[in-house]
Structure 1
Amino acid sequence: MLPYAPPRPVTLNINGQSHTLQLEPRVSLLDALREVAGCTGAKKGCDRGQCGACTVLVDGQRINACLTLAVMQEDREIITIEGLAQGDSLNPLQQAFIEHDGFQCGYCTPGQICSAVALLEEARQGHASAATPDVRQPLPLLTDDEIRERMSGNLCRCGAYSNIVAAIRDVIEREGGV
């Protein structure tokens, strides 16, 4: 039996607000967000980092919240689906997912949207993917194949993939490229 590790204060910056939570050191970020901080948007799908339902942004990078400990995220900026909107104004990707029906049951949608936010930022910074035709050249406008590759860590059991790609494509075109 593992030795008991008592809860200790852990301060997390979640969606722009500081939260001091009493957490046992082995609590995942996902469980801390959902069960202690009340941010239930990120979902527990596989709890093994294979489905992407728990995707959140940490310092602008997408991560699977089920695969990291909450104590490891102190002094970092955590953004969940709840933190993407600005007041009553949805994030452009949230709006596009609605307009293009980029969800069916909706379970994977928060992780899909957080991943898409990171995808756009990665592309703006010129990060290549496995589908990038020539990594020596500036990144061209993202193709649908490139979007699919960059979203491949997020699974949708309902199969809304074409609508998800259409939503991301719409945001890219509205913003005049990445």
Structure 2
Amino acid sequence: MLGRTYDTQVCSAARALEVVGERWSLLIVRDALFAGATRFADFQRLGIATNILAKRLDSLVDSGILERRSSGEQPDRAGYAVTQKGLDLAPVIIALTQWGDRWAAPDGPPILYRHTGCGGAIAEQTTCSSCGQITDLQQIHVVHGPGMPGSHATDVV
């Protein structure tokens, strides 16, 4: 993982990776979002060692992506629920899946995301807020945003 300081990485992508860039984190969030996983045992299906799973769940709770919820039937056993911050990772997971389907799935997509309402395929797309969809990703360039410190104003991403 990247360090915890951002002296050379003034970048929201780098900061996001500090939260969800560990190998198991997005898979845990994926299962919480799309596979109905809510209990520690549900996440064990991923094949993670229990000590690592416990650390990742704690980290996701600490960062506000998941929250612990006690169960009325078993109050000593916490379940996990996805927060709004966690829900906002759904497009990231879908986009990463699309990339994997194209470049790492020789037999075709192993899972498909579908809209519950109509059954249509779900796809993430890069769009321009002014004119619509970007057809050539090489048309994207970077400019400094309001969060760029003055000391890094000459940096190019």
TM over 0.5: no
Q: Which has the higher contact order (CA 8 A, sep 6+)?
A: 1
What TM-score results when the alignment is normalised by the length of structure 2?
0.26
- Return the structure number with greater strand share: 1
- Return the structure number with greater helix share: 2
Q: Which of these two proteins has the greater Rg computed from alpha carbons?
A: 2
What TM-score results when the alignment is normalised by the length of structure 1?
0.24
